[in-house]
Structure 1
Amino acid sequence: MVPAHPSSTTHLLYLHGFRSSPQSAKARLMAAYVARLHPSVQFWCPQLPPSPRAAVEMLCAGIAAWPRASMAVIGSSLGGYYASWVAQQCRCPSVLLNPAVDPARDLARHIGDQASWHDPAEHFYFAPEFVDELRALDVQSQPPAARQLAIIAKGDEVLDWHEMLARYPQAQVTLLEGGDHALSDFPAHLATIARFLQLASGTD
């Protein structure tokens, strides 16, 4: 059963999307917001490897010592898909920002050489086996292990908002009439996210 009154979040994991990085606008805005208003919160936004299996192995190692009762995860796009998996394993609250619903289907057409969004000179190879690795992380058949907040833009030019909305029927949803995949108005949502996660304040 999902707890109605969660404890304060002291450890926060942020997961970027496909071809993205910790240099994404949302990741940097979230990091700056936490540092300024919630300095006692441990914030981690790692560069995720292209292999989904390697990504979750790295995440599991990185959060192994984190307190499950006071951690939370935020994920954008493909990072939202990973965030749902992490939340299920750790039974922690999650915030999903225009989350990918079926990346195994959507990224199958992106097999091959890819350029990083924030550094086009940096390339990586998206291998065919990564599609099966993505499929293995699908937790949508399981009821959520903790509270979820989904911020979904109807104007998302990459993902179908109807699919995102249907994927998270038990989530608290902020459904934006316009917007875009990048959530260009992300600063307007920072306070909502902080309240939902009950980010520890000051030096708590």
Structure 2
Amino acid sequence: MLLYLHGFLSSPQSHKCRLLEDWLACERPDVDFCAPLISPHPASATAALEQVVEEYRGDIGLVGSSMGGFYASLLAERHGLSAVVVNPAVHPARFMPAYVGQPLLPYSGESREYRLTAADVDNMRSLERELQLPLRGRYWLLAQRGDETLDCREAEAFYAGQRQTIEDGGDHGFQGFERYCEAIVDFLFGRKAENT
């Protein structure tokens, strides 16, 4: 199963998520696809993601974008999984205090409103402490230097020694993501066996 983890206040309707799901349906129907809606509250998010991993009985590969990249890394370390992280958040607790108490609306247009608390920031700091170097998982970092939200140099340093593709230009959404669908799936699961 490919488990796709979207970013903060994003959704399973994100552009990269849909691209990957559509590509799998056409090219790799042997790979199940799962893209849960991830709560902005870290304790709720990690509990729900752990449940998905525990309930699935096959091989799991992870793809995470932005905050989803952080959660993908956390799951990869906890369960010995492989992960592709796209413009990942390395230290998400750093930006969370600015959102505490503010009404937050998902980019998906979902009608639900969220409000982070100081406890959410503390929970994220605890998760960051759990995600320590050296990494034990197997990672591929995809990042673009034009990311207007996160400094890709932090990700380059954090995932040092892992496979990395760093492109000039681009943005936080990772322009041209569709170029990597096949390579991502091959990295996570290997190539599909050819019919003989």
Instruction: Give TM-score, length-normalised by structure 1.
Output: 0.88
Tell me, in whole angstroms, the C-alpha distance in 2 between the residues paired with 1:48 and 1:140.
19
Match of 2:148 in 1: 157
Deviations 1:14-70, CA, capped at 9 Å, x for gaps: 1000010000000111111111111121111000112111111111112213347x2
Residues 23-32 or 114-123, more deviating:
114-123
CA RMSD of aligned residues (A): 2.0
Letter in 2 for 1:110: Y
Tell me, in whole angstroms, the C-alpha distance in 2 between the residues paired with 1:200 and 1:49.
33
Match of 1:6 in 2: none
Aligned length: 193
User: Contact between 2:77 and 2:131, CA under 8 Å: does it hold in 1?
Assistant: no
Change (3 A) 1:191 1:123: same
Instruction: Give TM-score, length-normalised by structure 2.
Output: 0.91
- Choose the corresponding residue for 1:39, options 11, 29, 42: 29
**Structure 2 counterparts to residues 173-184 of structure 1, below 5 A:** 173-184=164-175
Match of 1:104 in 2: 93
The percent of aligned pairs where both chains have the same amino acid is 33
The Cα of 1:118 is off from its aligned counterpart by 1.8
Match of 1:72 in 2: 61
Which structure 2 segments of 5+ residues have no match? none
The Cα of 1:120 is off from its aligned counterpart by 6.4
Tell me, in whole angstroms, the C-alpha distance in 1 between the residues paired with 2:57 and 2:80.
11
Match of 2:70 in 1: 81
User: Contact between 1:40 and 1:200, CA under 8 Å: does it hold in 2?
Assistant: no
Which structure 1 segments of 5+ residues have no match? 1-10
Letter in 2 for 1:87: A
**Structure 2 counterparts to residues 109-120 of structure 1, below 5 A:** 109-111=98-100, 112-119=102-109
Larger helix proportion of the pair: 2
